[in-house]
């Protein structure tokens, strides 16, 4: 595994460049999304090459629901602490941008760059209606993000998420695949560095996506998705876990606390500590 301790990146741009190289290394980038600085430090200690947040995990860990209910200022505080806690690149899930207008979006991107963030996820679903936004609208958003980074004289790795497989439609698998590719190609033309067709699960679908797009493809690890070694063979460049590490952590914690309650012993906790 990549030895994260061997790098000491001093600038945001250098970290963004490294994040891009990791997507093109030929070895799949595995990102078990975290929600706080402790998780980021653990990933770096274990040798993970980069750190990614998950919006749902960050929000729920701090008392908010997903879909941009957490105030952006508070999110930025959490993200800033994560960035300061590690030397590896940090990429942030910023949902649809936490902005209802262009000026707010530009401000949010500038503030993330200033905090040292190397990359972002940006999705093409309206967080309120849960419907896909028009392609042209999303393309303009991606172009705006690219212009902000350019004017800040820096780089920002943009992972463009498309939610065709996530939103409820009557489309067949083939129709979803075709629409995902169409949207993804438009996003790449607008400056996206990678594409994230979230909830794509079928092996043949994933293989087609990886072969049809000229940028790295990110797949979400979830039940029903091929395992990591298979994803690597299919040509997937990046696999992330969304809120699933947070959910698994809470389920483990619940199991420990149930045992603590039911067996009247501190060993369910202290036994884990050696």
pLDDT digits (tens, 9 = 90+) for 255-266: 999 999 999 899
Reported as a single tens digit per residue, the pLDDT across 130-160 is: 999 999 999 999 999 999 999 999 999 999 9
Report percent pLDDT > 90 for the chain.
95
> Could you tell me if residue 48 is inside a domain?
yes
Answer for the pair 218, 9: CB distance below 8 angstroms, yes or no. no
Q: How confident is the model at residue 8 (pLDDT cuts 50, 70, 90)?
A: low
Rounded CA-CA distance 206/198 in Å is 11
> Could you tell me if residue 263 is inside a domain?
no
Q: How confident is the model at residue 2 (pLDDT cuts 50, 70, 90)?
A: very low
Q: Across residues 48-64, what is the average pLDDT?
A: 98
> Could you tell me if residue 270 is inside a domain?
no
Q: Across residues 185-206, what is the average pLDDT?
A: 98
> What is the per-residue burial (b if ≥16 Cβ within 10 Å, else e) of 35-52?
bbbebbeebbeeebbbbb
Arithmetic mean of pLDDT over the chain:
95
Q: How confident is the model at residue 9 (pLDDT cuts 50, 70, 90)?
A: low
Residue 200 has pLDDT above 90, yes or no: yes
Give the total number of structural domains in the chain.
1
> Could you tell me if residue 274 is inside a domain?
no
Full domain range(s) for residue 93: 4-242
What's the confidence (pLDDT) of residue 6?
43
Answer for the pair 161, 198: CB distance below 8 angstroms, yes or no. yes
> Could you tell me if residue 178 is inside a domain?
yes
Q: CATH number, domain at 237? A: 3.20.20.60
Report percent pLDDT > 70 for the chain.
96
Residue 7 has pLDDT above 80, yes or no: no
Reported as a single tens digit per residue, the pLDDT across 14-37 is: 999 999 999 999 999 999 999 999
202: β partners: none
């Amino acid at each position: 595994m990549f030895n994260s301790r061997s790098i000491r990146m001093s600038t945001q741009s250098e970290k963004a460049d490294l994040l891009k190289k990791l997507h093109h290394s030929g070895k799949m980038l595995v990102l078990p999304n975290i929600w706080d600085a402790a998780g980021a430090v653990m990933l770096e200690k274990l040798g993970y090459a980069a750190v990614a947040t998950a919006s749902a995990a960050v929000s729920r860990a701090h008392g908010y629901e997903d879909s941009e209910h957490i105030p952006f200022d508070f999110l930025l505080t959490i993200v800033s602490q994560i960035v300061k806690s590690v030397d590896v690149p940090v990429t942030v899930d910023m949902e649809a941008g936490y902005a209802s207008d262009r000026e707010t979006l530009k401000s949010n991107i500038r503030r993330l760059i200033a905090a040292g963030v190397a990359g972002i996820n940006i999705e093409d679903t309206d967080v309120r209606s849960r419907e896909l936004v028009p392609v042209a609208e999303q393309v303009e958003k991606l172009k705006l993000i690219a212009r902000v980074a350019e004017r800040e004289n820096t780089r920002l790795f943009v992972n463009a998420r498309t939610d065709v497989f996530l939103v409820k439609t009557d489309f067949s698998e083939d129709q979803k695949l075709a629409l995902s590719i169409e949207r993804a190609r438009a996003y790449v033309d607008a400056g996206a560095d990678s594409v994230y067709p979230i909830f794509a699960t079928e092996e043949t679908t994933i293989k087609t996506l990886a072969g049809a797009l000229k940028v790295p493809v990110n797949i979400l690890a979830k039940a029903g998705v091929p395992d990591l070694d298979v994803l690597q063979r299919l040509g997937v460049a990046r696999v992330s876990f969304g809120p699933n590490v947070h959910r698994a952590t809470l389920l483990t914690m619940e199991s420990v606390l149930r045992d603590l309650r039911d067996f009247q012993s501190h060993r369910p906790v202290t036994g884990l500590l050696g």
